[in-house]
Structure formats: C-alpha cells, structure tokens
Amino acid sequence: MTAPVTAIGIDPGLASTGFAVVEMLDRRGRVRQWGTISTRPGPALAERLSSIYAHLSEILSRWHPRLMVVEDVYVLKAYPKAAIQLGAVRGVVLLAAEHHRIRVCEIKPTEVKSALTGNGRASKAHVGTMIRRILNFDGGRTSDHVSDAMALAVTGLSRSGLLRW
C-alpha cells in the first residue's frame, strides 16, 4: 500500500492568505487543515509579512507537506500597489517553503479552473462546488481563499507526479 501524499495550497494575499493542507491517496483526498491567515491594515508591512510567515511556518512544521502549490501572480494595471504587496506576500510564502525544504509549484488561476471544471473562466462558486465534491469536503462554509487553496493543492498534486493515478 502506498502512503498518502500531503500538499498545501496557498492563495496569497496581504489581508487574507488562504491555505489548505490536503492529503491524497490514489484518487481520494481529505482536507487536514484549512483556514486563512489574516492581518490587520494598521501595522507596518514588515510586521504583517512577519505574521504571515510565522503562522505559515507553524502549519508547515505540523504537517510536513511534500509540495506547496501557490497561486501564480496576476496583476491588474489599475492597482499597482496591490501587485507590489502581493509580491511581498508571495516572497514570504516562498521563503517559508524554502526554509522547510518543500518543493514549490506555481499555477495560474485559469489553469486550476480548467483542470477542475473544464472551463478556464469558471466562477469561484463553480470551482468551490467542484473541489468540495472531489475532496468530499463538508467542513462548513469557507471563504473563496480557502476553496482556492484546496483547488490549488489538488491541481498541483495531480500535475506534480507525486501521485499515481
């Protein structure tokens, strides 16, 4: 019998970083831990980034995932400051992965949507419904950030070669 493979999906954001630790064996999976790492807008950027790093490091130390799947960057020209902040968050997320010696995979949102629904322009609601069905997840209401993180983890595992299908 093969051992389950664990991955963590990360939907980065300065105010709210969604995460989901997913364990897969063959075509069955379960969500081991999920949630958001939230920061308040008051403190300095460095303090907020440090908080994200610390919380994420605790999660990585607990679960020891073999793979971290991070949503690839997309930038809206109308919000250049948001893009810079997102880059800073992604930097601490990638640093945490490196410190914990975790392989990283970056996937575009359209790729995840296409993999799970067959449509790269699917709505967040459709992706959320599909990922709940795939993982047989009934953990109550979750944010879009958490659903996205679950979807990232599953898509990353399926593309990484870590699973035998």
**Any idea which residues carry the catalytic annotation?**
11, 71, 145
Comparing CA positions, the residue from 64, 145, 73, 150 lying closest to residue 107 is 73
As a whole number of angstroms, the distance between CA 114 and CA 85 comes to 27
Helical ranges in 64-139 per DSSP H: 80-99, 109-117, 124-135
User: Dihedral of CA 81/87/88/89: which sign?
Assistant: positive
Contacts of 28 by beta carbon, 8 Å cutoff, 6+ apart: 136
Are the C-beta atoms of 82 and 118 separated by less than 8 Å?
no
Phi, psi (deg, nearest 5) at residue 8:
-120, 130
